Chains A and B, each alone.
Chain A
Amino acid sequence: MKPNDLPLHGVGAALQRKEDERFLHGRGQYVADIRLPGLLDVAFVRSPLAHGRLGAITKPAGFEDAVYTMDDLVGVRPIRAVSGLPGFKPSDQWPLARGKVRQVGETIAMCVAASRALAEDLAEQVQVEIEALPAVVDMLAARGLAPAALVHDDWGDNVFLHTHVRGDLAAIKASAPIQVRRHIRTARQSMAPMEGRGVVCQWDSRLDQLVMHTAAQMPHINRAGLSECLGIDQGRIRVIAPDVGGGFGYKGILLPEEICLAWLAMKLQRPVRWIEDRGEQLTANANCREHDYDITLYAESDGRLLAVDCDATVDSGAYSSYPFSACLEAAQVGSILPGPYKMAAYDCRTWSVATNKPPILPYRGVARTGVCFAIELMMDAVARAAGITPQAVRLANLVQPQEMPYDNITGKHFDSGDYPQALNRAVEALDLPKWRARQAAGNEPHIRIGVGHSIYCEQAAHGTSIYHGWGIPMVPGYEACHARLTPDGVLELRIGAHSHGQGMETTLAQVANSVLGIDEQRVRLVHGDTAMSPYSTGTWGSRCAVMSGGAVAAACQALLERVQAIAAALLNAPAATLRAVDGGLTDPASGRRVTLAEVAHAWYRQPQRMPADVHPAGLEVTAGYKAQRDTGTFSYAAHACAVAVDTELGTVQILDYVICEDGGVLLNPLIADGQVLGGLAQGIGSALYEEMPFDADGQPLAPTLADYLLPGATEVPMARLDHMETPSPYTAFGQKGIGEGGAIAPPAAIVNAINDALAALGVEITECPASPRRILQALQRARAARAGLAQAAVSA
């Protein structure tokens, strides 16, 4: 849609964000900005070793009452996030280490002082004995039956969970003309939002309640986890997520530090604070994306897919994190590896492997980024084997629009969409002939031009029917919204999800406008506070447009009926005929009108004017919402890019980047584009820059932002966005979740482009990030191989 075609209000408007105002003036309130009288700061003593037996901990003389270990936290239980999938092995993660340390950065003791600097001084003086054990760092080696070391001594192996999606490939393996096998890897990354985690905690003795401010995506889930670990009932816990500086999954977790601070606040009866610094964030929490695929695609000679066969391994770190559990990502690989393609057969084995690294969390896209990388690189390999273009091989295998809704080979129900059209539009927008011409001309020495594509579909807002099968400590059900009009006609919406950049204060006001006709500026969103909002599993999995949007729409619809009934009495007109528009209700017959403010004033201040059958609960409603079918929406996008590879330096410059995305009906196109572009930047990071390497002793090797490279303004090109809009048949407005998609496809598109650029030199990259070193080493190996062949040819 061109900008001029967009509505000015309501769903679909490119409304500027209401929340911008405070952020642009530095008046946001993040957890580190909260000031409470008598606040004390906490610094943690953290394990310098990746694996070891914890011995004596000696507190500095004279400061014994300012330093706490697990022995002091009597009655506090470990974090134990189980999955109901058969064979899952649970782990106990003590808030402060007990018995063993299993990752660099694991919390061992907490030190409290008047300032963070003083607390760090104290932490340095705590002596900790650790008997080093061999570190489990290589997930493939650790996966074996007789590993050299065990992360969890009572397990017998290092596998949280093994899954097997079974298919019968025997006949296909025997006869498929094209059989392409590759070993594909994605590196461990750090999600690195600009704001780290943080906790400010106090005990409110008047309310007999723990009050915790925490940079969190799922306050109600944190509340449940705190209750389980601290042994106090949830009514005595209030969790508040204030302004949160980015999440991406990083803040969708119950933290050991949260449990420690909660205990400390109750013990000291004073407010306490811990703010994660960047060093902690990078070294103790590089916790996503490390996948390994041994994957084979079987196809006909014309490129039509017959089957996919795969061993997939995910490095899941030392502990199962709450609530998603250690196995979610690997098990998800098994169910989504087929992507948007059709095939006759599929067999996939997955392993969630325990290692001496930080516990895995689902980062934007979750397993989808690794899966897209694997399957899309393989599709290009099949194309080369079949002698057809990458575009053609995809078109031959994508689910077709006339087949929608489509139940794929793993039982995923694709709700709607035209995948081939998205691919064609992206490729056309890239202008393939232009880049092929530049590629052929080869004018610049050391520069090789390449083009690449990738396409994916993204399941979002899937609910009860999908999640109950996982058996994890969280199953989304109905999403609730509480809506009420204030006596002067302002709409207050209370939801349990929370914004950490998605602009929900604006988009949900737009939903309210579409139903109630109320101006977005007269809508207030109350969210992120367990005391003020209904239960929700929170903000993750691109679910809020669908679930919070649907809940707000449902609540506003219920409120509309109440409003209509009162307005009908005031206007002496039938309720059903009254139209809500421009902040009021109009009787089309007489043209008379009453504003929402007048309706509210009448209810609250003039009950004598109410009809006898007025609803007793008046202008306050709670509604719950589920999608018509809760197997999830499927947004999708095709990415296409052109790159220039400098074969002397190994660097990659992105010359052009096009995305054709379909998120169904967009609540706010400005915000939706922002989500796609933000995801793209993170995808570029995954593709080219971001990696947390670990040495053989499990030491993280990129402990500062000078080593762990985040894409900056010079690394992210001005991408071009094209939009399609195929509504979901199952959601309130036809909207789909799209928040993660931008981060899913770039590694595949970019590495496919690099491989296109370097194919003539015999290079095929199967690993990301495609760093300069990896590219140069691949070029060197290819040169050596050619020299070897030439040598053999000479001697033959």
Chain B
Amino acid sequence: MKAAPFAYDACDSTTQALALLQPRAGDADDALLLPCSGTQSLGPMLNLRLSRPARLVDLSRIPALNAVTRQGGRLRIGAAVTHARIEDGDAAGVPDVTRGLLPQVAAHIAYRAVRNRGTVGGSLAHGDPAGDWVSVMTLLDAQLLIAGPSGERRVASSGFYAGPYTTALQAGEILAAVEVPVFSDRARWAYRKLCRKPGELADAIAGLWFDPALGVARAVLGAPDGMPHTVSGEAAVQALRDPVAVGLQLDALHITDPVQRGWHQAMLRRAWLDIDTASP
């Protein structure tokens, strides 16, 4: 399975990338111009000829997109930062500000060889509802920084996805970074995903996040059909200890398959167990 033909451009600045993503003379009217970084999600789609860009613009070497900076109560992670760097944490220049959540999630994405190339921005821009970062950033209500011809704009996770593989990115824009909150030392979290085998995309995801110092109580139900679903507010989240309440959430999401419902219930139940039995 070999990809359909396309042109490839590398670049080393955001400005250059944005310029390369503008149509040029000679491009067909419907030419698809795609940013890429690790091509770990895009690669299989190219090889299967499910994605047929006219041009790929490689963002992976842009220094600004590889930078990780702490700005007050937030950590800004460049879009081209690999899953492996997040997994390795401090040793790879990505401080762990989420009391282990981000490194643990990263460590269970696909396989190490894929993590060495795949990027957090690439996953988020790809928008597979079964992907871990999509669920986790939604749980954290992370801010997505988008760079475009008219400058940088900021979109909350809750507003970033219109549906599977459908993001707020317009043609000619790139995801520049994601900003996650810095947890207080009173934060507690749980993240459970159900996979048939390690490295597979999840059949069901459940995430919980409490941070009293930040006034946060959030839950996420993720994968595989629709975009992740969040519940926020202490009372509403605690109500999800009751399978009946969870069932109502699943009803609202039109998840009717009893097996799928059972998996979501199971992941949430186990997430509660993790939260309740975790050491402070």
Q: Which residues of A contact B (CB under 8 A)?
A: 115-117, 120-121, 124, 277-279, 648-650, 689, 704, 706, 709, 712, 714-715, 772-773, 776-777, 780
Instruction: Write the nearest CB–CB distance from B266 to chain A, whole angstroms.
Output: 5
> With a CB–CB cut-off of 8 A, which chain B residues contact A777?
259
Inter-chain contact A712/B198, CB cutoff 8 Å? yes
Question: What residues of chain B lie closer than 8 Å to A277, measured between beta carbons?
Answer: 1
Contact A649 B263 (CB under 8 A): yes
30 contacts between A and B (CB under 8 A): A117-B3, A117-B5, A120-B1, A121-B4, A121-B5, A124-B4, A278-B1, A279-B1, A279-B48, A648-B265, A648-B266, A648-B269, A649-B262, A649-B266, A650-B259, A689-B196, A704-B44, A706-B200, A706-B201, A712-B197, A712-B198, A712-B199, A714-B198, A715-B197, A772-B196, A773-B259, A776-B258, A776-B259, A776-B262, A777-B259
**With an 8 A cutoff between CB atoms, is B107 at the interface?**
no
Residues on A with C-beta less than 8 A from B1 are 120, 277-279
Name the A residues within 8 Å of B196 (CB-CB). Answer: 689, 709, 772
A773 CA / B262 CA spacing, docked (Å): 10
Residue B187 interfacial (CB < 8 Å): no
* A residues in contact with B49, CB < 8 Å: 120, 124
Instruction: Check A116–B263 contact: CB distance below 8 A.
Output: no
Query: Chain B contacts of A115 at CB under 8 A?
Result: 2
Interface assignment of B194: CB less than 8 Å from any CB of chain A: yes
A551 to chain B, nearest CB (A): 41
Tell me the nearest residue of chain B to A780, going by C-beta.
B258
A772: chain B residues within 8 A (beta carbon)? 196, 259
Number of interface residues of B (CB under 8 A): 22
0/1 interface trace, chain B 1-21, chain A, CB 8 Å (1 if under):
111110000000000000000
B263 close to A120 (CB less than 8 A): no
The majority secondary structure among interface residues of chain A is helix
* Cα distance A461–B138 in the bound complex, in angstroms: 60
With A and B bound together, what is the CA distance between A279 and B194 in angstroms?
A: 26
Give B45 Cβ to nearest chain A Cβ, in Å.
Answer: 11
Instruction: Note all chain B residues with C-beta closer than 8 A to A715.
Output: 197
User: CA A116 – CA B265 in complex, angstroms?
Assistant: 47
Closest CB of chain B to A420's CB: distance in Å?
37
Q: How far is the CA of A279 from the CA of B5 in the complex (A)?
A: 19
Which of chain B's residues have a CB closer than 8 A to the CB of A116? Answer: 2
Name the A residues within 8 Å of B262 (CB-CB).
648-649, 776
Q: Which residues of A contact B199 (CB under 8 A)?
A: 712
Our pick among B2, B48, B197, B258 for the contact of A709 (Cβ within 8 Å) is B197
Q: Which of B64-121 contact A (CB under 8 A)?
A: none
* Interfacial chain B residues near A709, Cβ < 8 Å: 196-197, 200
List chain A residues, Cβ under 8 A from B3. 117
CA distance A772 to B200 in the complex (A): 15
> Cα distance A649–B266 when bound, in Å?
7
Residues of A within 8 A of B2 (CB): 115-117, 120
* Bound CA–CA A706/B40 (angstroms): 14
Q: Which residues of A contact B201 (CB under 8 A)?
A: 706
A279 to B1, CA, bound (A): 7
Closest residue to B269 on the A side, CB-wise? A648
Q: Which partner residue on chain A sits nearest B3 by CB separation?
A: A117
Min CB gap B273→A, angstroms: 10
Q: Beyond A116-B2, A120-B1, A772-B259, list 11 extra A-B contacts (CB 8 Å).
A: A115-B2, A121-B4, A124-B49, A277-B1, A279-B1, A279-B48, A649-B262, A704-B48, A706-B201, A709-B200, A776-B262
B126 to chain A, nearest CB (A): 14
